[in-house]
Chains A and B, each alone.
Chain A
Amino acid sequence: MDYTPHGREDIRQMFESLKISSVKDLYSNIPEKIRIRSYGIAEGISEPELRGVLEKFAGMNSSVKNLKSYIGGGAYEHFIPAVIDDICSKPEFYTAYTPYQAEASQGILQSIYEYQSMICELTGTDVSNASLYDGATAAAEAVLISIDKYDEGTVAISSAVNPMYRKVIETYLKSSHCNIEIVEHTEGITDVSRIERQISGKLISFISQSPNFFGCVEDVKALSDYVHDKKALSIVIANPLSLGILEAPGRNGADIVVGEGQPLGIPLCFGGPYLGFMGVKKELMRRLPGRIIGRTLDKDGKKGFVMTLQAREQHIRREKATSNICSNQALMALRAAVYMVYMGKEGMKEVGALNICNSHYLAEGVEKTGKAVLKFKKPFFNEFVIEFKKDAEEVFKIFEKENILPGAQVKEAGRNSILCCVTETKNKNDMDEYIEIVRKL
């Protein structure tokens, strides 16, 4: 099948206007040598057949619906309100493109302006962009801001930052003159005195994550104070869902707050599309990568929205742009916006509280069995590292028999340890069952 509309008569008339007898007549300047007959891929199929093919692929995957999963590690299973799917499947949103023509794009523009406003409020920053690819690239772009500002020096990253994010930052910095230093965590959190001891050279930015990769809440204020003392930028990677209950990093001194917006109403979907968010302090506004939506007035003095501060962007500044990003993750930003509006002031707080209380219920229950301990005794949000007395491989097998994935196996957490995540999607029965399995280990 295909989606071309022309009937035979259409084509005849179009050929006639063009005075051609075949589309080939329009290709005369394409060297014969490089033309092909066919790709050699399969024949096309009908829509019902297509469903069948894709259902088969889908059927070969486990989902969080048929497997109880306690895996987090950068992507999280959360309740997704039905209104989000409904609103975001409006074709006026999802089949539009970048709002280049403001008057024909007020819907998208206003929704992003509102998104930006909520990201600023949530993170405690002054300006947000319209979205970046994902949390990891947002972190890398944040580091690039510090390089843009200071040219060269040392970029230091806490080892309690998600290892995938660290890898992405490393990849993005390969061609810069800056060196990256990793500051080892102490018992699951970043220790200011270690930065002091470990870093050589002029610090330009320090990257921490809170809640960090092990789930522990960092002392963002102490870290930022230290970093500011060194006249560097404090970059904090945050889980936006935690910010309904935990203090905004921007209010604790972070200059740039970035993170993965997936917890805000975006499906897991095997890793993407997700949402990179970024909020910065006012002084950094003109170094912000990506699109920004602003409010202004029309000819008649009526309020309206446009893309603004575009002189930073690739289509104007080319090689001097603050970033190369063009297409972003707008539809995911819309999902996050609807999520934040739906949860609202009280819901954001309540869902944060539920994550904290549920995860602590499981953690305490597991520890009480005597078969495992919490590796890091620090305040945590919805993830924590469990260290089993038994071999972790074996533990996994036992859980698997019950159709449960007890957490993510991460080597950074140490031997026989897993990173366990509990959100509002788990109830008391689920967790009691988990605890019971551990008791029987």
Chain B
Amino acid sequence: MSIPGDLKYTVSHEWIRVKDNIGTVGITDYAQDKLGDIVFIELPKAGVELEANSDVAVIESVKTAADVYTPLSGKIVKVNSLLDKDPSFINSDPYNKGWIFEIQIKDMSELEKLMDSSVYQNKISED
């Protein structure tokens, strides 16, 4: 199970990569594995402003559906429309081609509430 060290993680299994005030968000390798083969993703709309932990997207596999939550407050600035055509990137490359959206971060201090890779590693080994 891959858990890159340079990312931050949420309890609901999202990752975020921060560069300046823009965060790129996706779901973790662990989450994609639990979901199984993904058949569809309902992407958020660029431009909407959201509070941290609000649901922004829905990922569907054959037998389940899972909400994706935004780890931080801010404005969605970009979505990965590649996933519209082929959501399987979330399965095959969750941390790169499988990114879901970019968010303009409102409050950098919220980052501190997120987990780093070692804490996340511990959390999923408990599950």
Residues of A within 8 A of B (CB): 286, 310-312, 316-317, 320
Cβ-defined contact, B42 with A316, below 8 A:
no
The segment from B61-69, B81-89, B105-113, B118-126 that touches chain A is B61-69
Cβ-defined contact, A311 with B42, below 8 A:
no
Tell me whether chain A's interface is mostly helix, strand or loop, or mixed.
helix
Chain B 49-67 near chain A by CB (<8 Å), digits 1 or 0: 0000000000011111101
Cβ-defined contact, B65 with A286, below 8 A:
no
Chain B 34-48 interface residues, beta-carbon cutoff 8 Å to A: 39-40, 42
Cβ-defined contact, B64 with A316, below 8 A:
yes
The residue in B40, B42, B60, B67 that gathers the most chain A C-beta atoms within 10 A of its C-beta is B60
CA distance A316 to B59 in the complex (A): 13
CA distance A360 to B67 in the complex (A): 56
| B-chain residues with CB within 8 Å of residue A286 when the two chains form the complex | 40, 42
| B-chain residues with CB within 8 Å of residue A316 when the two chains form the complex | 63-65
Cβ-defined contact, B40 with A310, below 8 A:
no
> With contacts A311-B64, A311-B65 known, what are 13 further pairs, Cβ within 8 A?
A286-B40, A286-B42, A310-B62, A310-B63, A311-B39, A311-B40, A311-B60, A311-B61, A311-B62, A311-B63, A316-B63, A317-B65, A320-B65
CA distance A311 to B65 in the complex (A): 6
- In the complex, how many angstroms separate the beta carbon of B54 from the nearest chain A beta carbon? 14
| B-chain residues with CB within 8 Å of residue A312 when the two chains form the complex | 65
10 pairs across A/B with beta carbons < 8 Å? A286-B40, A286-B42, A311-B39, A311-B40, A311-B60, A311-B65, A312-B65, A316-B63, A316-B64, A316-B65
User: A-B pairs with the 8 shortest C-beta distances?
Assistant: A311-B65, A311-B60, A317-B65, A316-B65, A316-B64, A311-B64, A316-B63, A286-B42
| A-chain residues with CB within 8 Å of residue B63 when the two chains form the complex | 310-311, 316
CB closest chain-B residue, reference A285: B40
| A-chain residues with CB within 8 Å of residue B60 when the two chains form the complex | 311
CA distance A312 to B40 in the complex (A): 11
CA distance A312 to B65 in the complex (A): 8
CA distance A316 to B36 in the complex (A): 15
- In the complex, how many angstroms separate the beta carbon of A255 from the nearest chain B beta carbon? 18
| A-chain residues with CB within 8 Å of residue B67 when the two chains form the complex | 320
| A-chain residues with CB within 8 Å of residue B39 when the two chains form the complex | 311
- In the complex, how many angstroms separate the beta carbon of B126 from the nearest chain A beta carbon? 25
- In the complex, how many angstroms separate the beta carbon of A151 from the nearest chain B beta carbon? 12
The residue in A286, A311, A312, A316 that gathers the most chain B C-beta atoms within 10 A of its C-beta is A311
CA distance A317 to B67 in the complex (A): 10
CB closest chain-A residue, reference B64: A316
- In the complex, how many angstroms separate the beta carbon of A194 from the nearest chain B beta carbon? 33
| B-chain residues with CB within 8 Å of residue A310 when the two chains form the complex | 62-63
CA distance A286 to B40 in the complex (A): 10
CA distance A288 to B96 in the complex (A): 32
CB closest chain-B residue, reference A321: B65
| B-chain residues with CB within 8 Å of residue A320 when the two chains form the complex | 65, 67
